């Protein structure tokens, strides 16, 4: 991606800066080298008058330092026929003598002293250097706000936000975001609903910047978008429905801990950057690239606050159950996201159950109310078991499969209870199911997860949207770098 | 505040600059704000405009900026935007 690097002169090239004590220490060595017939070129990063003993070139824009990956000063490069054939960093008497061929060099100096950081890797300026010197394949249209415009107001006015402020996606910030993935900025991830626009890594990175993501979150955002932008998840329908659902993102794998996701106290709530910005980046991308905006394609009657962001990790280390991703076919230890078209979470209170048998009865009673007690099979749900409740199942030796099987069996209801008109409620299943016996959920329709703080005899239910071909199916995708 | 350049987060199907609103087919029935930016003789121009617009069935409200050298105060912009459906800003010298 680098532009053609400036050509270095033949012979020895040394990069130094005044601010570095080791560079100051090697000044007499540079004078010794200058006195030989070896061609010597010294580049100084900060003070053009440094070093005092030799004439130097000022690498004022750090172009030499950037293009030749100078991470430490002093660095000595040996150039032959325009090619670097050797380099040494810091001060090592032995290495300097070897690379220069001057075997009496630096007699007075200690054997070794480490160098200092090059200005070209200073965290405060490295993003600007990357933007200046990289022929980046970033091709998005640029938009300049006038000096009289407040950029935060301008971005809101253009309809690019979820109602909360977003970070201005400058080229520097977007290029930095792109360091979070090995994928090419113009790779097309999916066709993004509802407008079915080719969704590139670059556009995702721009929206991830706006959402407040760090570069290491980007692969998770990409995977979540791959998971929502397809016919199975049906993001178009999830937007267009009048029901209050949006993509709920469940993250699994060791990477959740590496990027600092919260699977503990307040896991669904505010305060954790990774949880909140990954979910937000997905929604901003669908809004800005796909064109999915409330009042347009998004027709939700009430919506829910999770449509700004709803993303959490499973606490796999403490969970008595296999991770959700493993249940859905991803090998243990592999990072993955599962997306679910869900509404906001609701609490299941049972502070008295001490046996798995009692607790699952409470779960079933609450799960039966998902959307309507007389509607079954057509809606999926996520059940998030808390550590206090999880312990009850762990002590009873219940696996995920056992828990789901018990919920299924105990939720069976006769069609006479569910049919339209029964119990004085018009809502219900169609008349032809009157003689059937039906469980609350279809096979695979209950997604058990484990997360939450260490205190609280509560679990949580996230109800879904219409499932299957007429609605949305949960989708799992592996997260790749 | 320095100007800032950002990368377009959208699918770029709309122009980068904000689009102009459609021109009204007729001014009859509209409330038109005439904003005098307080340059000399701007009022002469606006007085004549007011006559012509009123003849054509528009209601005219007059506003003036305190000085032409600075942007219109927020309250004035708010007043115009809530009271008027069209606005004409006059420059004169």
Neighbours of A146 (CB within 10 A): 10
Structure tokens at A298: 């998004």
- The residue among A104, A122, A140 that closes a domain is A122
Residue A168 has pLDDT above 70, yes or no: yes
Nearest by CB: B6 against A143, A148, A288: A143
Range of the domain at A422: 153-478
- What would the pLDDT profile of A375-422 be if each residue is shown by its tens digit? 999 999 999 999 999 999 999 999 999 999 999 999 999 999 999 999
- Taking only Cα atoms into account, the Rg of chain A, rounded to an integer number of angstroms, comes to 30
Residues A308 and A208 in one domain: yes
Radius of gyration (C-alpha) of chain B in whole angstroms: 17
CB-count burial class (<10 Å; 0-12, 13-18, 19+) for B17: exposed
In a domain, A341, yes or no: yes
In a domain? residue A3: no
A408 in contact with B, Cβ within 8 Å: no
Assess if residue A323 is contained within a domain: yes
B5 and A143 in contact by Cβ < 8 A? yes
Same domain? For A75 and A158 the reply is no
Contact list, B4 vs chain A (CB under 8 Å): 144-145, 151, 168, 170
The answer to whether position A369 is within a domain reads: yes
Please tell me the total count of domains within chain B: 1
CA distance B35 to B37: 6
| Three-class SS state of A355 | coil
Residue-wise pLDDT for A284-293, tens only, equals: 999 999 999 9
**Strands A311-313 and A75-80, sheet pairing:** unpaired
* Structure tokens that stand for A472 in this block: 């949305």
Best-predicted range by mean pLDDT (A311-315, B15-19, B66-70) = A311-315
Q: In this structure, are residues A55 and A62 in contact, taking their beta carbons and an 8 Å threshold?
A: no
pLDDT band at B67 (very low <50, low <70, confident <90, very high): confident
Regarding beta strands A475-478 and A91-92, do their DSSP bridges make them parallel or antiparallel, or are they unpaired?
unpaired
**Residue A326 included in any domain:** yes
Of A138, A146, A195, the CB nearest to B7: A138
Residue A114 and residue A169 share a domain: no
In this predicted model, what pLDDT tens digit does every residue of A2-49 receive, in sequence order? 457 889 999 999 999 999 999 999 999 999 999 999 999 999 999 999
The half-sphere exposure of A240 on its side-chain side, counting CA atoms within 13 A, is 13
| B78/chain A closest Cα distance in angstroms | 16
Residue B22 lies in a domain: no
Q: Cβ–Cβ of B3/A144 closer than 8 Å?
A: yes
Residue B71 maps to a domain: yes
Minimum mean pLDDT among A139-148, A399-408, A449-458, B9-18: which range? Answer: B9-18
Task: Tell me the pLDDT tens digit for each residue of A59-112.
Answer: 999 999 999 999 999 999 999 998 999 999 999 999 999 999 999 999 999 999
| Number of domains composing chain A | 2
A341 shares a domain with A471: yes
DSSP-based three-state secondary structure for B9: coil
User: Per-residue pLDDT for A299 more than 60?
Assistant: yes
Quote the mean pLDDT of chain A: 95
Q: How far is A470 from A195, CA to CA, in rounded Å?
A: 20
Kindly report the nearest CA distance between residue A155 and chain B, in angstroms: 10
Confidence of residue A1 (pLDDT cuts 50, 70, 90): very low
Residue contacts between A and B (CB atoms, under 8 Å): 75
Contacts of A4 (CB under 8 A, 6+ apart): none
Residue of A nearest to B71 (CA): A148
Question: pLDDT tens across A260-275, in order?
Answer: 999 999 999 999 999 9
């Amino acid at each position: 991606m680098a532009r053609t690097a400036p050509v270095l002169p033949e012979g020895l090239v040394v990069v130094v800066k005044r601010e570095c004590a080791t560079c100051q220490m090697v000044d007499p060595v540079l004078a010794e080298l200058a006195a030989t017939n070896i061609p010597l070129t010294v580049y100084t990063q900060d003070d053009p008058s440094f070093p005092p003993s030799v004439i130097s070139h000022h690498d004022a824009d750090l172009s030499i330092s950037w293009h030749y990956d100078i991470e430490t000063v002093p660095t000595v490069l040996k150039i032959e026929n325009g090619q670097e054939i050797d380099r040494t960093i810091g001060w090592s008497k032995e290495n300097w003598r070897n690379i220069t061929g001057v075997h009496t060099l630096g007699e007075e100096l200690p054997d070794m002293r480490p160098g200092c950081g090059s200005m070209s890797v200073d965290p405060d300026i490295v993003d600007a250097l990357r933007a200046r010197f990289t022929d980046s394949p970033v091709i998005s249209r640029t938009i300049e706000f006038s000096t009289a415009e407040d950029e935060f107001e301008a971005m809101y006015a253009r309809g690019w936000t979820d109602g909360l402020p977003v970070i201005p996606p400058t080229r520097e910030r977007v290029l930095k975001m792109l360091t979070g993935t090995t994928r090419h900025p113009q790779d097309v991830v999916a066709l993004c609903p509802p407008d079915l626009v080719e969704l590139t890594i670059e556009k995702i990175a721009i929206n991830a910047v706006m959402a407040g993501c760090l570069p290491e979150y980007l692969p998770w955002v990409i995977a979540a978008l791959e998971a929502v932008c397809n016919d199975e998840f049906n993001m178009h329908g999830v937007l267009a429905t009048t029901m209050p659902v949006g993509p709920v993102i469940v993250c699994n794998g060791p990477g959740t801990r590496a990027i600092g996701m919260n699977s503990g106290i307040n896991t669904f709530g505010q305060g954790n950057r990774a949880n909140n910005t990954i979910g937000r980046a997905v929604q901003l991308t669908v809004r800005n690239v796909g064109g999915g905006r409330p009042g347009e394609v998004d027709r939700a009657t009430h919506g829910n606050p999770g449509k700004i962001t709803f993303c959490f990790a499973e606490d796999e280390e403490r969970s008595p159950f296999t991770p959700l991703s493993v249940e859905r076919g991803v090998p243990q230890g592999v990072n993955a996201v599962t997306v679910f078209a869900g509404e906001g979470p609701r609490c299941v209170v049972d502070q008295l159950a001490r046996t798995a048998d009692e607790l699952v009865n409470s779960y079933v009673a609450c799960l039966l109310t998902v959307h309507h007690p007389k509607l079954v099979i057509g809606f999926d749900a996520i059940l998030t078991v808390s550590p206090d409740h999880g312990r009850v199942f762990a002590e009873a030796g219940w696996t995920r499969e056992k828990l789901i099987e018990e919920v299924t069996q105990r939720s069976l209801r006769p069609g006479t209870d569910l049919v339209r008109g029964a119990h004085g409620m018009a809502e219900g299943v169609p008349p032809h199911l009157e003689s059937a016996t039906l469980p609350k959920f279809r096979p695979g329709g209950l997604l058990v997860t484990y997360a939450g703080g260490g205190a609280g005899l509560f679990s949580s239910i996230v109800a879904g949207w219409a499932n299957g071909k007429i609605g949305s199916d949960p989708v799992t995708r592996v997260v790749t770098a | 505040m320095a100007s800032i350049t950002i990368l377009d987060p959208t699918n770029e199907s709309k122009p980068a600059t904000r689009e102009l609103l459609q021109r009204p087919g007729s001014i009859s029935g509209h409330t038109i704000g005439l904003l005098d930016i307080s340059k000399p003789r701007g009022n002469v121009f606006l007085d004549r405009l007011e006559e012509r617009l009123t003849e054509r069935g528009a209601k005219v409200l007059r506003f003036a900026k305190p000085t032409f050298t600075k942007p219109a105060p927020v309250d004035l912009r708010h007043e115009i935007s809530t009271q008027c459906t069209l606005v004409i800003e006059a420059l004169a010298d």
